[in-house]
Amino acid sequence: MNEPPPTQSLPRGIQNAFLFAAFNALSFQIVQSSPIILYAKSLGAKATVLGIIAGMMPLLVISQIPAANYINRIGFKRFVLAGWSMRVLFIFAIALVPLTGAFLDPGNQLALLIGLLFCFNLSRGISSCAWLPWITALIPAQVRGRYLSLDQAVLNFASFVVFLIGAAVLGKTPGAGHFSALFLFSAIAGAISLNFLKRIPDVPVTEEPAKSRSGVPWMAMLRYPPFWKLIRTIIGWSAAYGGMTAFTVAFLKVKVDMPEGQILMITSITFIGGLSSLWFLGSRLDRLGSKPVITFALAAWIAVMGGWAALAGEALPATLGIVLLLQFLMGLLAALINMSTNRLAMAVIPVMGRNHFFALYSVLGSVTLGVSPIAWGVLIDAIGERHWQWLGLDWNRYTVFFAVAGLAFTVALALSRRLEEPEAASMEKLLKELLIQSPQKFLLRFWPRN
């Protein structure tokens, strides 16, 4: 009798959040993912510069720390809407950069691109500090896992679509006009997303304004045991995952010599993997908890890094099937990590000080996510063209990158075992349900009945 009521549903108007997520994904995946990396690569950007571009968005989330003080004054919706509107304007400016080739050389175009991306990501970083507190206050605790699963599904489906569009626009030999058209599409999709953002139900800010003379007790918040254990795991995950998209794209371009359009087609499979997380979890996230999902996903990431290292080291041929499988798994596992860590944060963060807790949660993980691709880029550039044979592998810059990233995922896995979630099931129970109970239920649907 103590089970949650089956009639518990998502709040009215939440469909606007899903529509916002869809058009937002059609926009930001172009200027924060593979397309912008390919454009920077066409301008001659080296791995370190690619790492800076990949790390800029999460690194500038640090702006959430001072921005969190203003949420109570402005309100959730107005705060997010202001920042998202600014960043759409910067995307329109980015769409003009490829057209400046008539009077700017590639180096200056790259510098202009980085400057505009900085402004874009700064406005995004400031405004995003209100998003998680807003959603946490809006969505009942009993259905947050369902909301996050649906949100990830919408995001990944829209991302899959936009990568197909990007592949069609860029083709095999893209020119400046192709990139400009793709960035313009991103800006228009971003502008449309604002219309749905305005329609998401607002929630009154109930936390007292942080006006204490002693300031915000950041260190005391960080020492809160369940929160600190989650933060450690997030930092470990971010250090391992940072730059993964950028450098798998660079690997496919440099080592496998794939054209831009084909790379985007292959990368789109990542989002089919993310979309599959809805089937993979379904209602399980609310029933089984976040900890077993995090542990399972991090263990699987180690195996995926082994696969990429085998490709880079020429132990396996870079066939289309193997690359697609690895891309699919990367999308699935990243979605599982994002959903489960956000849900766990919503569960362990107390109501008092929620805005600042979420700002700290986002900043520490995102700063690591921003610094790590720069460090990975420096490592890749430092190795350069050198390579050697060991353990049956050709150890080149990409083999080393994937192998060391696998070690980083191992550290994150060890940290995840200490997460605090009293009502969480064990990973063994998760595996039993996935590998035994779910297939049995599926087969029983087709079993003949007398």
pLDDT over threshold 50, residue 112: yes
Quote the CA–CA distance of 186 and 165 in Å, as a whole number: 11
The 8-class DSSP code of residue 208 comes to P
- Write down the pLDDT at residue 446: 41
Domain residue limits, the chain: 15-200+216-442
Above pLDDT 90, what percent of the chain? 45
The pLDDT tens digits for 281-322 are 656 666 777 888 899 999 999 999 999 999 999 999 989 999
- Output the CA–CA distances (angstroms, integers) from residue 112 to 99, 104, 180, 441, in the order listed: 12, 10, 14, 56
Q: Are 347 and 293 in contact (CB under 8 A)?
A: no
| Mean pLDDT, the chain, integer | 85
pLDDT in tens, 348-404: 888 777 778 888 888 888 889 888 998 999 999 999 999 899 988 999 999 999 999
CA distance 40 to 32: 11
Task: Give how far the C-alpha of residue 445 lies from the chain's centroid of Cα atoms, to the nearest Å.
Answer: 36
What would the two tokens of residue 45 be? 């950007």
d(CA 260, CA 76): 39
Q: Given this model, what pLDDT does residue 300 score?
A: 95
**Closest by alpha carbon to 126, among 194, 64, 58, 73?**
64
Single out the residue of 399, 381, 398 nearest to residue 390, CA to CA: 399
> Which residues, at least 6 apart from 252, have a Cβ–Cβ distance to it below 8 Å?
258, 263, 266, 323
pLDDT computed for residue 281 by the predictor: 67
**What's residue 206's pLDDT?**
65
Name residue, tokens 């997010």.
Answer: 80
Q: Which tens digits make up the pLDDT trace of 407-427?
A: 999 999 999 989 988 665 555
* CA–CA separation, 205 and 134 (whole Å): 9
Q: What is the pTM of this model?
A: 0.76
> Higher pLDDT residue, 30 or 445?
30
Asked if pLDDT for residue 444 goes beyond 60, the answer is: no
Nearest by Cα to 113 from 129, 134, 93, 139: 93
Distance CA 369, CA 243 (A): 8
pLDDT of residue 16: 94
Q: Is 15-200+216-442 a CATH 1.20.1250.20 domain?
A: yes
Give the pLDDT confidence of 159-174 residue by residue, as tens digits.
Answer: 999 999 999 998 888 8
Model confidence at 433, pLDDT cuts 50, 70, 90, reads: low
User: Interior CA angle at 104 toward 99 and 106, to 5°?
Assistant: 90
**pLDDT at position 434, please?**
55
Tens of pLDDT, residues 188-210: 999 999 999 999 998 887 654 44
Q: What is the signed CA dihedral for 440, 445, 447, 450, rounded to 10 degrees?
A: 130
